[in-house]
Amino acid sequence: MKKEEMVKCDWSQEEIEHYRKEIEGWRHSETGNEELWQKISDKIDKSTRKIKVKKGRDLGKKWFNAEWKKRKRLLRKELRKWRKGKLSREEYVKKRKEYKRWCKEERKRQEKREEKIEKIKTETEAWRYINKFRKKRNSLENSIEMDEWKRHFMEMLEGTEEKTDMKGKKDEREEEEKKEENGKNNGRIGGAEVKAQTFDKVNREILSERMKKIGISNILRNRIMEIYKETKNTIRIGKEESEVFWTEQGVRQGCPISPTLFNIYIEDLEDEMKRGQIGGIKINREKVWSIMYADDVVLLAETEGELKDTMRRFRKYLGRKKLLLNAEKSKVLVFEKGRGKKRERSWMWGGDKIEEVKEIKYLGYILQKNGGPEKQIRESYRKAMVAMKNTWSIGERIFNKDFRRRMKMFKALVNSVALYGAE
């Protein structure tokens, strides 16, 4: 009976080198993410040489790899030894059982790996998976003494060597809690989803007052503030740890409730920006003065004068909250058409100057001065090419010559990177 033939990509060492030469220096002229993705897929297909192979039982195994081939070869050697009388039947049966047990476990491992790949939907998830297999760079030599690290962070966090007596504040909170239990206090709960890089600057007394003002119960508020009665800090560099120091401001880094507490802390920002009805932009029938996500805050306005007024009010707001803004990291983007020479504008934050830029990256998307998508498409292409090269080497390591699985992995990872922001 003649075996059926099938066409597959040749991934011998020679053909791998051929593939790398084919894609090296490749450029594209597509302007849309969907077209770019199709172009990349077509390029890979055209850059790989195809060969005809006869279908066999091995090709039907969805999980087979180089390790499987090695074990299969060793088992066949044992079979030949048994047939020649050089190995007992019991020993051969034992080795065959070990081989089958390994095959079963390996199949499960490969299926789990595929399930993880199939669940990847975002660029962040794709890079997290790719980076697990990339070679780690050598860490920089640590020439800074631990005492210097501790001194730096104590100054930044306004920490102290000794604990501060919080007994008076605790008694005050307990008194308010008793009133709550007696039914003398009721309120509502509210908050906005905001997170900022100034977690270490949160004033805990203002935070407590803010929770009280928006109606969070004294019982819950006191329990939260009890967490911050004593905030112990250490600096860890590798396996070495500094001596303990104490802080009285900020919310805990890595604590699950910290983002929510910061949301509450600046929950009234949008209301503050609305005062005077200056600034903001109209989106449909609504007017929006600020956009907040994670540690990014964006102030919006239609004109230069309105934006400067909004910035002044924002500065006063941060002053009341005892927060700081890093002028060096802050930028201004003015959307306007035309390539001619533009009038120079000055954007000041106190005595510091804020830079006006032609483009800015917000939530992973590049916003251009002219409102176009060209830079974002080029950046998506660049990232997709990096992901593509890494994905092929990872696929070669994991799935060896199983092109079907390698292509499946490629689509899941590279597609997530190439199409980020295409919605």
pLDDT for the residue 389? 75
Bridge partners of 40? none
- Say whether both 268 and 362 belong to one domain: yes
pLDDT for the residue 294? 59
CA atoms within 13 A on the CB side of 346: 5
- Say whether both 343 and 244 belong to one domain: yes
- Say whether both 223 and 339 belong to one domain: yes
Q: What is the value of pTM for the model shown?
A: 0.56
User: How many domains does the chain divide into?
Assistant: 3
- Say whether both 314 and 401 belong to one domain: no
pLDDT for the residue 169? 47
- Say whether both 393 and 322 belong to one domain: no
- Say whether both 335 and 214 belong to one domain: yes
Q: How far apart are CA 72 and CA 68, in angstroms?
A: 6
Structural domain contains residue 261 = yes
* Residues spanned by the domain of 255: 191-371
Q: How far apart are CA 41 and CA 218, in angstroms?
A: 59
- Say whether both 312 and 381 belong to one domain: no
- For residue 67, CA distances in Å to 54, 63, 74, 99, 350 come to 21, 11, 11, 11, 65
Structural domain contains residue 163 = no
For the cut 50, the answer to whether the pLDDT of residue 14 exceeds it is yes
pLDDT digits (tens, 9 = 90+) for 62-111: 455 667 788 888 989 988 888 888 889 899 899 999 989 988 888 888 77
Both structure tokens of 242: 């500094």
- Say whether both 271 and 346 belong to one domain: yes
CATH of the domain at 214: 3.30.70
pLDDT digits (tens, 9 = 90+) for 114-136: 777 777 777 777 777 777 766 55
pLDDT for the residue 32? 64
Structural domain contains residue 407 = yes
For the cut 70, the answer to whether the pLDDT of residue 2 exceeds it is no
For the cut 60, the answer to whether the pLDDT of residue 60 exceeds it is no
The answer to whether 327 and 349 have CB atoms below 8 angstroms apart is yes
- For residue 348, CA distances in Å to 68, 88, 330, 363, 387 come to 66, 87, 11, 25, 40
- Say whether both 72 and 220 belong to one domain: no
- Say whether both 228 and 365 belong to one domain: yes
**Amino acid type, 17:** E
pLDDT digits (tens, 9 = 90+) for 286-325: 888 888 875 678 888 888 888 888 888 888 888 888 888 8
- Say whether both 290 and 381 belong to one domain: no
- Say whether both 251 and 292 belong to one domain: yes
Q: How far apart are CA 37 and CA 34, in angstroms?
A: 5
Q: How far apart are CA 119 and CA 122, in angstroms?
A: 9
